[in-house]
Amino acid sequence: MRSGPTSSPPLPQALTPLDAAPGWRRIDLLSDLHLSPDMPATLARFRAHLAATPADAVFLLGDIFEAWVGDDARWQAGTFEQFALELLRDVSRHRALFFMHGNRDFVLGEAMAADASMRLLSDPTRLNAFGHTWLLSHGDQLCLEDVGYLRARAIVRRPDVQATLLALPLFARRALARHLRAKSRMHQTDPGRWADVDDDASRDWLKASGCDTLIHGHTHRPATHDLGDGLTRVVLSDWDYDHGPGRGDVLVIDADGLRRIEPLT
């Protein structure tokens, strides 16, 4: 619930709807894979799902990569970014591919998207599919109690700040990414104690957008929340098949509605 003076982030005055193509029969939505060279089992499970899914479109809703240091890294031979480009290109050869920025990969740009033949999505995006309208978001903008993060987000998302960061040499950006990941791990505890998405803000977004279901990630708390008045908030899981028994999920939208499944193998 909302506490203090923080208010809901405003929606764009007019959300341009994204219409599912007439031939689509299934849409897969995933988020928070946090892919990196240090997560080979998670990467393998992701590739296995993409090879097995019958989906006509795949929507990646942020934090697909643990860190993205700049599109120019994709041209550095043997790097993870070059591998990521080839992986995404392979996906887009077989189905429509969409990418929404998360807090870990927000500098992935139009150059990378064009090379991978995927479409960048605004956050939020209103999706019209199978006779229903869904509001898609990464979710971080709605964690209103995480005041420090939201202040930092407002700074690093400024075009001038991003331009300054991307002007650094690639080795310096990689070092900065390593430092920020290490700092983040030091402050990570039980996800249940992290700031959660604000339900009042979710309701505000849904009512303003004319949607009744919000789908998001970011919080690593997979669940379905009844917000009242016919409104629902559905949360994707993060993925981790490198530590412990493994976890991850996919939300599927088709003519039967919305359902949650385990990644296919």
Between residues 69 and 195, which one has the greater pLDDT? Answer: 69
Question: Which pLDDT value is given to residue 14?
Answer: 73
- Under 8 Å between Cβ of 203 and 229: yes
Mean pLDDT, residues 162-174 taken together: 95
How many residues are present in the chain?
265
> Rounded to a whole number, what is the distance in angstroms from the first to the last CA of the chain?
38
Q: Name the CA radius of gyration of the chain, rounded.
A: 18
202 residue type, one letter: S
Whether 3 shows a pLDDT value over 50: the answer reads no
Residues of the chain above pLDDT 70, percent: 94
Q: Which residue has the tokens 């402050």?
A: 187
238-to-217, 221, 250 alpha-carbon distances in Å: 7, 8, 10
Residues in Cβ contact with 74 at an 8 Å cutoff, skipping those fewer than 6 apart? 81, 82, 84, 85, 112, 115
pLDDT tens-digit readout, 203-239:
999 999 999 999 999 999 999 999 999 999 999 999 9
Question: Which pLDDT value is given to residue 139?
Answer: 97
Question: Which pLDDT value is given to residue 2?
Answer: 47
Whether 163 shows a pLDDT value over 60: the answer reads yes
Mean pLDDT, residues 115-128 taken together: 97
Residue 253, judged by CB atoms within 10 A of its CB (0-12, 13-18, 19+), counts as buried
Tell me 11's DSSP state.
P
